Amino acid sequence: MPQPFLESLSPEARELLLAAARPVSFVQGATLVRHGDAARGAFVLRDGRAEARVPAPGGDCIVVAGLGPGDIFGEMALVEAGTCTATVVATAHVDGWFLAFEDFRAVVSQRHGAARELQHAVTRVLAERLRAVNARLSGLAAPEDRPARDRTGASKPLAGAGRGRRASFDLAAFLPRLAFFERFPAEEIDEVAAAARVLELARGEVLHLPGGAADAVFIVARGAVEILRPVHGRERRVAVLGPGRPLGFMGVLLGTPHGSIAVAREASTLLEIPAGDFRALYFGEGASSSRLRAAVQRSLLESLGRTNRALTRLATQARLARREGEAAQFEAAGAAQLWAERGAPPG
């Protein structure tokens, strides 16, 4: 079971968080946030209990998450504006804090260790949310699952791949156009790019396999990478990452092996940043490091949004086929995120 959010912070980071937040209290039965409302920030519980509920057919509700002392919810709204996908109700008297998006951004822009730790703590929570919902999704079969391909010849991905410092096109002029770097000034893009090698891949070349060590972070500069997840002896496409999209950073930051297959969908050019260099950049105290952490968080939100859309699609297909129990499972897995992109359906 993951450690409660407050307990995961050092005293310095906890003090920084609470100094920027405002105290809130709710009586038993009160609504903290409502399904479909705009998400404005995060709540941290000090005392009491709450549960997240989503509407179900027939007017009933499904409980998709329980919350207790030290837990956080709404953390995705600290990164980007979004919509609440569940109603959160106090099941006992609740005391805690509310941290608004604007106040969080002001706090983590400070250049000291506690600010860096707090920003990374939110990254860690987002990564845990993504892993949890992917695990639930992987446990549910879907019509789109396809037979797994034989990849025994790729037991050592990228072993013979060509690496260099230059691309076959003007990469330096191209990088500022990539989504990952859209909020970086030119000199900070150069700082990140200086730690990278240029990787040129042929169509079908494998970047990593499940269980392999996460020893680099990749940013797609040109082309596309397909992400596949093993499901019950088959495989499911979960994403096609085009220019400006990163991959591999969760394993590097959390120290865990890869859980998916990554394959070049076409001839592609990627930036490859070795794990140690990426961690040094990410955990630094300069402005570029803070911006890099924010870029990683936005990428996690994109992945969560992608997963949520997949769950919504699968739930709709199940309902059309009158497989109500299966549809409810998909819906519950998606609603447990408690957040959706602004403009996307909240559940």
Whether 318 maps to a domain, the answer reads no
267, 284, 301: which is the final residue of a domain?
Answer: 284
Looking at residue 339, its amino acid is W
CA 328 and chain centroid, separation: 23
Give per-residue pLDDT as tens, 218-259. Answer: 999 999 999 998 887 888 888 899 999 999 998 999 888 998
The boundaries of the domain holding residue 163 are: 147-284
Specify whether 80 is located in the same domain as 182.
no
Residues 6 or more apart whose Cβ sits within 8 Å of residue 185: none
CATH code at position 123: 2.60.120.10
Question: Does residue 164 come out as left (phi exceeding 0), alpha (psi in the -120 to 50 range) or beta?
Answer: beta
Q: Residue 108 falls within a domain, yes or no?
A: yes
Sheet with 50-55, strands from edge to edge, namely 31-33, 87-90, 50-55, 61-67
Quote the radius of gyration of the chain (alpha carbons, Å). Answer: 21
H-helix or E-strand containing 262? strand 261-264
Q: Is 308 within the bounds of a domain?
A: no
Residue 305 confidence (pLDDT) above 80: no
Q: What is the pLDDT of residues 134-162, one digit of tens each?
A: 777 776 667 778 888 877 666 788 877 77
Residues 75, 110, single domain; the answer is: yes
Is residue 333 predicted with pLDDT exceeding 80? no
**Does residue 313 form part of some domain?**
no
126 shares a domain with 23: yes
Q: Which residues partner with 301 through β-bridges?
A: none
**What are the structure tokens assigned to 316, written together?**
């709709």
In this structure, is residue 166 part of a structural domain?
A: yes
Question: Total domain count for the chain?
Answer: 2
